[in-house]
Structure formats: structure tokens, C-alpha cells
Amino acid sequence: MWVVENGIEMTKQISIPPERHWFSRLQRITRHGDSPWQAIIIVMAVLVMVLMLAIGWMLWRESADARAAFGWGFLTPSLDTSWDPVNDKFEAWPFIYGTLLTALTAIVLAIPISLGVAIFMSELCPDWLRMPLNWLVELLAAIPSVVYGLWGIFVFLPLVVTPVGGALFETLGKVPMLNVLFTGPIPPSGASRLGAAFILTIMIIPTITAVTRDVLLSIPSSQREAALALGATQWETIWQVLLPYGLSGILGAVILGLGRALGETMAVTMVIGNSIEGSPSLLRPGYTMASVIANEFAEAVTKLHTQALIEIGLVLFFMTLLLNMVARLLVWRVARRTPQEARA
């Protein structure tokens, strides 16, 4: 083609015919696939955002009349609320309260259990047990929630929740301050917020356990060896080195679990009793936001009823979003703080 006689003249001599010019440019773009690849990835990322916005926008738009009709009173905490499709009078507090109470109780119960299982599996477990245990935890996560619900109704509620609830009523129900949460009596069938919280606990344990175990396993052995070499016991190594090191990951696991607990519908609907009675107690039947939508949406015939249910969906949507943001913030702060503390 063109000959370079001396290095200085080189740029001057380059001349490509125009038709060849665009083709080679295209070739250059597609040769390594970088640009198309990037474009596809961006589309995917944008898709998630668009989906999120679309869902939020739909919930907002479809609940317009309900929001106009009830205003903030829809969300006001109160023990005497009504959810009356016959007279079109709707207040969501019992559902919000039920969702928060059951999900938070479940998280509180699940964290120590899952951490224990995860620590056992990553640090203490004999090799022959590790694999079966691993499988069992993953199987637990794979059980459909309706099966949890059925098992809950027929086995778990009468055999476990009713006696435990009765015992809590006899003990914590007598303690001032705490007795608000433990006024009973628990219904003989066991259908109660406590039952829902227990079922949720069982359902989120595998999620938190699996992620926590992976986090612990990914901690470099040098950390363990260093702690042990300094004379720390195994317990001190786990508690003072490994857990702080993996804290942000573990918090992430807890957020995943909380997300599942907030949104879980079927199993909760089957065991919570679905009643909006005014008691704030864990031992009484309650209702959650996801349950009421699942229960009533298909047969909601008046416009306001449908809209009120969609507004509950909107509240749930924002609540999950908010909790996620708070949790993200927490992870971020913890992640910034850990290295110093882990070293200390």
C-alpha cells in the first residue's frame, strides 16, 4: 500500500477510500465486541430501573382515588381501624403493623439461629457432615411457601405455636410493658402473629445461613491463622475476628432475609388468622399487607376497594424500598468502619 519513507511523513500518506473507511471502522468496533457488549449490558441495567419505575408508577396511578379519598388517615396508627368493603371505609394500619411485627420478630429470631448454623458449617463442622448439612439448608430454601403453610396449619401451629404461645402468655404476659405484646390468650388453633413469625423464621433461616456461610468461607485463612497465632481461642477468633471481618456481608444476608419476610404471602396468609381485631399482641390473630392483597384482590368489586388494595401495595413497595435503603446505609457505614476494628 503506502510506503513510509521516513517516520515524519507517515501521517500525511494515510488515505483510505471512503467506502472502505466506514467498513473498517465498523470492523474495528465489532472486532472485540466491546461496544455491543457494553450496549447490551447498559440496556439490561436500564431495564431494571425502568421495571422498578413502571411498577411504582402503576401503583401510584391506580391508587389515585383511594389516596384522594383517605389521605394520610389511611396509614394512621390506631387500635380501632376499619377495613369495611361494604361501606367503602378503609384504613391500612392493622396490615402495616402485622407485616412489621411478624417480619421483625422473624428476623430477631432467625439471626442467632442462622449465624450459629453458618458458623458451625464454616468453622466447626466435621468434613463428612458439611455436605449433607449444606444440602439440607438449601433444600429448606427450596420448599414452596404453600407447603410451609399447609404444614403450619396441620402440624406446626397446634404442636408448637399453641403451647409456646400459652407459655409466653403465662410468663411474659405478666411482665409490665412487655405484656402489650403478649396479651393472650392464644387461639387454640395457634393461628396468630406468633405462628406467622415462627413460620417466617423457618423460611428465612436458609437464606441468611447460606449467604453468611459463604461470607465466612471467603475470609482468608490468614486472618484465622493470625488470630490463633496470637493465642486467641477458636471462640475468640470467630467472635472477634471473623464476624467483624464479614459483618457487611452478614448484614447483606440479613437484608435478604428481611426482604423475604416482608413480602412472604402464602404461608403467612395460611397461618396468621387473617383478622383485624384491635389487639397489638403477638399472640392474637393478625393480618399482613401481602395477605390482604392476595386474599381480597381477586374478588374486590368496588373501585375504591381495588384502589385501597393497590395503595397497600404501594405502601409495601415504599416500605421495602425504605428498609433496603436504611440497610444499605448500615452496610456502607459498617464496611467503612470494620478494618480498624478488626485490627484492634
Partner 1 sequence: MTRVVRPVFFVLVALSFLLAACGGTPATPVTVVETQVVEKVVTATPDASMPELPAGSVQINGAGATFPLPVYTEWTYAYSYVDPAVVINYQGIGSGGGKKAIVDGTVDFAGSDSLLKDEEYTSGKDLQMYPMLAGAVVVIYNFTPAKEYPADFKAPKLILDRQTLVDIYNAKVTKWNDPAIVALNPDLADYLPAETITAVHRSDGSGTTEIFTKALTAFSADWTAGGASSIEWPVDKAGNGVGGKGNAGVAASVINTPNSLGYVELSYAVSNNLAFADLINKAGQKVTANADSVASAMNDFSGAFSDKLTATIVDGEGAGSYPIVGYTYIILHTTSMTDCVKAEKLLQFLQWALTDPSATSRAGALGYSVLPDAVREQVFAKFGEVTCNGAPVLK
179 binds partner 1 (CB under 8 A): no
| Binder among 69, 263, 296, 338 for partner 1 (CB under 8 A) | 296
In whole angstroms, what is the distance from residue 101 CA to residue 267 CA?
Answer: 16
Q: Check binding of 191 to partner 1 (CB under 8 A).
A: yes
Choices 111-119, 230-238, 247-255, 283-291; region in contact with partner 1 by CB under 8 A: 283-291
Q: What is the SS3 assignment for the chain? A: CCCCCCHHHHHHHCCCCHHHHHHHHHHHHHHCCHHHHHHHHHHHHHHHHHHHHHHHHHHHHHCHHHHHHHHHHHHCCCCCCCEECCCCEECCHHHHHHHHHHHHHHHHHHHHHHHHHHHHHHHHCCHHHHHHHHHHHHHHHHCCHHHHHHHHHHHHHHHHHHHHHHHHHHHHHHCCCHHHCCCCCCCCCCCCHHHHHHHHHHHHHHHHHHHHHHHHHCCCHHHHHHHHHCCCCHHHHHHHHHHHHCHHHHHHHHHHHHHHHHHCCHHHHHHCCCCCCCCCCCCCCCCCHHHHHHHHCCCCCCHHHHHHHHHHHHHHHHHHHHHHHHHHHHHHHHHHHHHHHHHC
Cβ closest to partner 1, residue 191 vs residue 203 = 191
- Binding pattern for the stretch 228-267 against partner 1, x by CB under 8 A and - elsewhere: ----------------------------------------
Q: Does 157 bind partner 1 (CB under 8 A)?
A: yes
Binding status of residue 14 toward partner 1 by CB under 8 A: no
- Work out how close the CB of 81 gets to partner 1 at its nearest, in angstroms, rounded to a whole number: 10
Instruction: Please state the separation of Cα 315 from the chain's center in Å.
Output: 16
Q: Is 159 in the site for partner 1 (CB under 8 A)?
A: no
Stretch touching partner 1 by CB under 8 A, among 172-180, 225-233, 244-252, 287-295? 287-295
98 forms part of the interface with partner 1 (CB under 8 A): no
CB nearer partner 1, residue 120 or residue 342: 120
Q: How far is the CB of 9 from partner 1 (least distance, A)?
A: 60
Which member of 6, 11, 87, 221 binds partner 1 (CB under 8 A)?
A: 87
- Does the protein bind partner 1 through residue 195 (CB under 8 A)? no
Give residues 113-152 in contact with partner 1 (rule: CB under 8 A).
131
154 binds partner 1 (CB under 8 A): yes
Shortest CB 67 distance to partner 1, Å: 20
Using N-to-C axis directions, what is the helix angle for 247-263 and 193-217, rounded to 10°?
Answer: 150
Q: Which three cell numbers stand for residue 192?
A: 396468630
Instruction: Decide: is 13 part of the binding site for partner 1 (CB under 8 A).
Output: no
Would you count residue 188 as binding partner 1 (CB under 8 A)?
yes
Stretch that binds partner 1, among 2-10, 34-42, 211-219, 301-309 (CB under 8 A): 301-309
- Number of residues in contact with partner 1 under rule CB under 8 A: 39
Question: Residues interacting with partner 1, by CB under 8 A?
Answer: 82-87, 131, 153-154, 157-158, 187-191, 269-270, 273-279, 284-285, 287, 291, 294-302, 306
